[in-house]
């Protein structure tokens, strides 16, 4: 096997934008430098009894290799997750061979670096065991000095079944149980995932399959050097309020062989540069420098609040012996505070983020792993998802604790896009062991991850785990009162005494929360496990309710911060058809129940939908299936819209002591496979109706309507910090049977609060309908938007139903037809729609043509209207015409 020898001598260029922690690119020849031999590429792969032998790509995993070599078909196809269970129950060996030129081998120190092994492995070089791994979230460096040969070095990585390992670890834990043992049967997953430091969702989740992967999921390289190598380079800006200036805390982590002296030059071109003395003794060394910028800088702001300027910070290290090391990182200047302080007339404490001293409402969603086989996640997939988030006016995402710490490019793009990251540590929905070896590997994981990610301005908060405080507090696992202190003690040991402790040492610039949901400082007061971590008076909450009518906003907790809430829907037929056959396309098929990993999920969707819509009843089974998918997406979009608008409206309200909501992160942004879930974007990147609607309900200035005790209220919600807008609410009532507005109203000019919500219109519904003549709750719909006094529109159009659409009187089949024209710029196409009657939830679906519409799932109250489709790859008007399906509510029954 051939591996390229990169003679990396003495010259490092760290391009943090695309290569986080990976030193790469420029090569300068120097006899005393660091040589890097990449061991990525083709390896040999063998199962335990040698019956399966194939070549496999590194980075990669066993499933991907088997699929690429034709041993198995698509693991996502139909029931293949069950059929391919054997892969994860077997043990596998990866082998490669490589040569090392004599001049390289003769250097002082050689280290084999594994950026990521999934998960339990024993590694040997030329027959000698050099190390073991037990944590996929860690990088491992194994010294191999003296073990290398010129030719035919044999490197072997034996990987044990993660399922077997987790079960053995759990069996060995005899003193007390560490629940849960297994996931619920509906998830068709594996047991005891909490005993292994691996993506917790890889043993199945309520939105994803069980693929307990095995592999070498990140790069492998040999690093050989005489003097030193750089392990990591971090840059963390800090605001010095006493001097009103910025410092950047720069740290270098070095592996030093020979005592050396030299200079480190730090510079931000055109801004500032500074030189520091360096003196190093052998061993692992951490060098810290305070780089005082002393200049005015442009601040980094979350999306929607300003620009995201990123500066290049360069590091040149020159040793007395003549060696040079260079590195470069993007830095951005911003402060972040999490404010938990008393609020007048409300018991409890506030919970909101202040960026650069300004309160910011977090609008976004939750991020889960992009693929069960992480080696198949491409930069394109991440880019499309993050661009989709930004297009939907999101400024924040939570990297949820049951998945993986994302790749560097994810955080670099968030830095560029202004998307704030709430970063969980990877623990979710379980209790965890706290034996010495477990704690030890977690400590290393946390240290490495904080150092890897803390230079990114997008990361605004660390959080210890997902829902584990709640799991203890609200007794998910039937723990007796007598046993409870034991579990609380373990909880505190893991998340407070270890994880929190390390994070506070490594990064003093960001808040740390122990869990989500949590009561924050109140949980701390109560011994880190609050009596009710869902208390709306404190911290963040997660709230789900599937059977309660989601149109009833009074049922939602008026929380300080909604970090999870949501409803399931099914992805489109074009997405599902890649992993199914036509006999599966029925809501009661085996496929439909197999793919549903959430108990009663399919029922819950239909029951919730049925409250307001007539369920599809086409006699054509495929049409009925398509329509049912559609109705689940309508339900999801409408429910999440109502809940999100309620939270945004609550930002300046205190009602019965509750309110001041300052964040909405709905569950969940993306999907791991083609199945039903809470996501707003399907596997593959296609937007569900919810995602289109998010663009509006996350608009910087929102107008929203609500019915309260018989009155119709309209609020203007503004994210702006200072700009006070004078607005009028423009309200129109339309009857379902005509294109002409039945009547219209206009509010007086009102000044809307910056950073708050303002009531702009109020009228008893009975008066509204009487004044409107021919309208009843069932025959009319209310539309509205905000305009400036001069008539300029300043919020998206919105509407509110006065009765369920299932009772709509006069709503007829709209007979929508269309034409498509190439707009002539940037793959944009104009779809002109014609209808005979008003239509609601008009949905355009172009199957597999990737792209997004400027609006979708909309109300069509005029005979014709135009929509733009922006394709993400070259296409034609003909292709769009051939693939376009248009559905509206009245078309499905
Ligand atoms: C939350 C999440 C996930 C889960 C989701 C939907 O509690 O943290 O564990 O997927 O609910 O059930």
- Specify the residue with its C-alpha closest to ligand 1, atom 6: 206
- Specify the residue with its C-alpha closest to ligand 1, atom 1: 564
What is the atom index within ligand 1 of the atom nearest the CA of 402?
Answer: 9
Contact yes or no for 707/766 (Cβ under 8 A): no
pLDDT at 850 > cutoff 60: yes
pLDDT in tens, 337-377: 999 999 999 999 999 999 999 999 999 999 999 999 999 99
pLDDT for 19: 36
Catalytic residue among 323, 467, 506, 645: 467
What is the atom index within ligand 1 of the atom nearest the CA of 205?
Answer: 10
Cα 21 to ligand 1 centre (Å): 31
pLDDT at 18 > cutoff 80: no
Pocket of ligand 1 (CB under 6 A): 205-207, 402, 428-429, 466-467, 542, 564, 667, 678
pLDDT in tens, 276-318: 999 999 999 999 999 999 899 999 999 999 999 999 999 999 9
Pocket test for ligand 1, best of 400, 425, 469, 670 (most atoms within 8 A of CB): 400
pLDDT at 531 > cutoff 80: yes
Helix (H, G, I), strand (E, B) or coil at 655: strand
pLDDT at 620 > cutoff 60: yes
Cα 678 to ligand 1 centre (Å): 9
The dihedral built from the CA positions of residue 517, 523, 524 and 527, taken in this order, carries a sign that is negative
- Specify the residue with its C-alpha closest to ligand 1, atom 4: 206
pLDDT in tens, 541-553: 999 999 999 999 9
CA distance 373 to 88: 13
pLDDT at 808 > cutoff 90: yes
**Cis, bond preceding 318 (omega within 30 deg of 0):** no
pLDDT for 21: 36
pLDDT (mean) for 416-444: 98
- Specify the residue with its C-alpha closest to ligand 1, atom 9: 429
- pLDDT band of 759, cuts 50, 70, 90: very high
pLDDT for 28: 27
- pLDDT band of 774, cuts 50, 70, 90: confident
pLDDT in tens, 500-525: 999 999 999 999 999 999 999 999 99
pLDDT at 450 > cutoff 60: yes
Q: Percent of the chain having pLDDT more than 90?
A: 95
Nearest C-alpha neighbor of 119 from the set 23, 254, 215? 215
pLDDT (mean) for 205-211: 98
Residue 564 annotated to the active site: yes
pLDDT (mean) for 137-152: 96
Pocket test for ligand 1, best of 187, 368, 425, 429 (most atoms within 8 A of CB): 429
- Specify the residue with its C-alpha closest to ligand 1, atom 12: 206
pLDDT at 23 > cutoff 60: no
Average pLDDT across the chain, whole number: 95
Cα 223 to ligand 1 centre (Å): 41
pLDDT for 213: 98
Contact yes or no for 45/92 (Cβ under 8 A): yes
Nearest C-alpha neighbor of 560 from the set 695, 717, 361? 361
- pLDDT band of 26, cuts 50, 70, 90: very low
Catalytic residue among 323, 469, 564, 682: 564
Contact yes or no for 560/538 (Cβ under 8 A): yes
pLDDT for 724: 84
Q: What's the Cα-to-Cα distance from 22 to each of 111, 282, 319, 448, 699, rounded to whole Å?
A: 15, 23, 22, 13, 38
pLDDT in tens, 149-177: 999 999 999 999 999 999 999 999 999 99
pLDDT (mean) for 17-23: 35
pLDDT (mean) for 131-156: 97
Q: How many CB atoms lie within 10 A of CB 11?
A: 19
pLDDT in tens, 668-721: 999 999 999 999 999 999 999 999 999 999 999 999 999 999 999 999 999 999
pLDDT for 33: 79
pLDDT in tens, 57-83: 999 999 999 999 999 999 999 999 999
pLDDT at 1 > cutoff 50: no
Helix (H, G, I), strand (E, B) or coil at 41: strand
Which residue's entry shows tokens 């209808």? 835
pLDDT for 700: 97
């Amino acid at each position: 096997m051939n591996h390229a020898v990169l003679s990396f001598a003495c010259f490092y260029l760290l391009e943090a934008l695309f290569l986080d922690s990976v030193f790469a690119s420029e090569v300068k020849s120097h006899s005393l430098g660091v040589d890097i031999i990449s061991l990525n590429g083709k390896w040999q792969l063998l199962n335990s009894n040698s019956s399966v032998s194939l070549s496999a790509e590194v980075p990669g995993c066993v499933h991907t290799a088997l699929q690429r070599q034709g041993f198995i078909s698509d693991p996502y196809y139909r029931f293949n997750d069950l059929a391919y269970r054997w892969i994860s129950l077997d043990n596998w060996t990866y082998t490669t061979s490589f040569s090392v030129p004599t001049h390289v081998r003769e250097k002082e120190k050689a280290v084999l670096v594994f950026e990521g092994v999934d998960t339990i492995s024993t590694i040997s070089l030329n027959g000698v065991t050099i190390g073991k791994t037990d944590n996929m979230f860690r990088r491992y460096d194994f010294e191999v000095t003296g073990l290398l040969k010129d030719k035919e070095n044999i490197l072997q990585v034996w990987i044990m079944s993660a399922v077997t390992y987790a079960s053995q670890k759990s069996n060995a834990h005899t003193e007390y149980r560490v629940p849960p043992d297994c996931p619920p049967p509906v998830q068709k997953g594996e047991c005891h995932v909490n005993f292994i430091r691996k993506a917790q969702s890889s043993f199945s989740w309520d939105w994803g399959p069980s693929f307990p992967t095995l592999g070498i999921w990140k790069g492998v390289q040999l690093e050989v050097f005489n003097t030193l190598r750089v392990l990591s380079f971090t840059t963390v800006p800090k605001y010095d309020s006493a001097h009103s200036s910025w410092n950047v805390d720069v740290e270098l982590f070095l592996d030093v062989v020979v005592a050396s002296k030299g200079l480190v030059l730090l510079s931000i071109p055109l801004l500032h540069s500074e030189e520091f003395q360096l003196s190093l003794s052998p061993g692992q060394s951490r060098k810290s420098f305070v780089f005082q910028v002393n200049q005015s800088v442009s601040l980094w702001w979350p999306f929607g609040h300003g620009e995201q300027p990123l500066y290049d910070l360069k590091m040149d290290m020159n040793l007395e012996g003549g060696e040079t090391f260079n590195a470069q990182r993007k830095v951005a200047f911003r402060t972040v505070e999490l404010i938990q302080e008393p609020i007048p007339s409300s018991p409890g404490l506030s919970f909101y983020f202040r960026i650069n001293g300004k309160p910011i409402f977090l609008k976004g969603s939750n991020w889960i792993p992009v693929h069960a086989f992480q080696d198949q996640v491409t930069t394109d997939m991440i880019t499309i998802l993050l661009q989709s988030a930004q297009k939907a006016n999101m400024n924040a995402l939570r990297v949820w604790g049951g998945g993986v710490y994302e790749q560097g490019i994810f955080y670099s793009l968030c830095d560029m896009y202004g998307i704030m990251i709430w970063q969980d540590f990877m623990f979710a929905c379980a209790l965890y062991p706290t034996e010495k070896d477990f704690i030890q590997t977690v400590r290393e994981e946390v240290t490495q991850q904080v150092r890897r990610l803390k230079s990114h301005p997008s990361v605004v908060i660390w959080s210890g785990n997902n829902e584990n405080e709640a799991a203890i507090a609200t007794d998910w696992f039937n723990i007796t009162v007598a046993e409870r202190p034991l579990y609380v003690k373990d909880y505190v040991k893991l998340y407070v005494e270890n994880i929190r402790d390390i994070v506070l040492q490594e990064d003093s610039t960001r808040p740390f929360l122990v869990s989500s949901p949590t009561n924050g400082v109140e949980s701390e007061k109560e011994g880190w496990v609050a009596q009710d971590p869902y208390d709306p008076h404190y911290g963040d909450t997660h709230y789900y309710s599937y059977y309660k009518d989601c149109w009833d906003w009074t049922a939602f907790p008026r929380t300080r911060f909604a970090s999870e809430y949501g409803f399931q829907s099914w992805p489109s037929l074009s997405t599902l058809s890649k992993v199914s056959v036509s006999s599966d396309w029925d809501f009661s098929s085996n496929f439909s129940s197999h793919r549903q990993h959430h108990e009663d999920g399919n029922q819950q969707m239909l029951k919730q939908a049925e409250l307001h819509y007539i369920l599809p009843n086409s006699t054509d089974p495929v049409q009925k299936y398509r329509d049912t998918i559609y109705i689940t997406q309508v339900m999801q979009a409408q429910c999440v819209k109502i809940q999100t608008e309620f939270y945004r409206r609550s930002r300046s309200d205190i009602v019965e002591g509750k309110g001041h909501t300052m964040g909405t992160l709905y569950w969940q942004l993306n999907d791991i496979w083609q199945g039903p879930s809470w996501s707003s974007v399907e596997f593959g990147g296609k937007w569900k109706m919810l995602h289109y609607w998010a663009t509006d309900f996350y608009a910087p200035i929102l107008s929203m309507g609500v019915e309260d005790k018989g009155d119709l209220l309209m609020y203007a919600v503004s994210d702006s910090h200072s700009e006070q807008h004078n607005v009028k609410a423009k309200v129109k009532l339309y009857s379902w049977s005509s294109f002409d507005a039945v009547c219209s109203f206009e509010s007086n000019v009102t000044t809307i609060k910056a950073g708050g919500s303002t009531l702009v219109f109020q009228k008893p519904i009975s008066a509204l309908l009487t004044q409107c003549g021919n309208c009843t709750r069932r025959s009319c719909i209310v539309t509205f938007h905000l305009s400036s006094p001069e008539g300029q529109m300043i919020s998206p159009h919105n509407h509110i139903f006065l009765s369920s659409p299932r009772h709509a009187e006069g709503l007829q089949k709209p007979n929508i037809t269309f034409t498509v024209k190439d707009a002539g710029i940037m793959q944009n196409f104009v779809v002109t729609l014609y209808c005979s009657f008003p239509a609601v939830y008009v949905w355009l679906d172009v199957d597999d043509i990737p792209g997004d519409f400027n609006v979708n799932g909309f109300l069509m109250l005029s005979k014709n209207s135009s929509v733009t489709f922006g394709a993400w790859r070259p296409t034609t008007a003909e292709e769009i015409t051939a693939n376009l399906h248009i559905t509206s509510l009245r078309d499905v029954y």
